[in-house]
Amino acid sequence: MKTYAMIDIETTDITARTCILSIGIVFFNIAALGKVIYVRPALQPQLDAGRRVSSDTLNFWMNQSTDAKKDAFSEDARVSINYTIGQLRELDRADIILANDPDLDIAGIVDFYTQFAEDNTIPLFDYKKKRCFRTIKRLYDPTRDLEPERTTHHNALDDAIVQAHYFLNILEKYKLNI
């Protein structure tokens, strides 16, 4: 049985070199959701290393809910860069790695890993594992009938879990083997 990982990140820019506010990863298979990872990497080392912050993205965050802003920008429960790298290495366990926007979410964590991992000569995961969930949604559910309801927005772990359920709904309805 295939193991999937759905990734979502919250950021301060829309490029791979973004400062990452939080990372949500959920591992799952067709039977059930499994391990979840939620990390909020320390911000200062990212800023010191030149990771990007854009005014447009900060303006976006100013228009979000108080809870979303608090989760994204609070310094509480921040973890070290090394701890974050260790958690990201778990991704190699998955057979397929999905993200709604792989050009930001997957590229962002790969760039983060490459910049900060002590031994970045070992790839985070095989590039052939990457899939674009946005494309899958648009192909199989253009009217979004299969999308689960959500109560929170812009929380990396909640977004990853909702997207994993959504992906499973599509797999089930169309009997896909992705």
* Beta strand ranges found along 63-173 (DSSP E): 96-99, 130-132
d(CA 66, CA 153): 11
Measured in whole angstroms, how far is the alpha carbon of residue 173 from the centre of its chain?
24
Domains of the chain: 4-174 (3.30.420.10)
Of the pLDDT bands very low, low, confident and very high (cuts 50, 70, 90), residue 28 is: very high
Q: Among residues 61, 64, 25, 40, which one has the least CA distance to residue 163?
A: 25
pLDDT digits (tens, 9 = 90+) for 37-86: 999 999 999 999 999 999 999 999 999 999 999 999 999 999 999 999 99
Q: Among residues 174, 168, 178, 175, which one has the least CA distance to residue 147?
A: 168
pLDDT at 18 over 90: yes
d(CA 49, CA 44): 8
Of the pLDDT bands very low, low, confident and very high (cuts 50, 70, 90), residue 151 is: confident
pLDDT digits (tens, 9 = 90+) for 83-139: 999 999 999 999 999 999 999 999 999 999 999 999 888 899 999 999 999 999 999
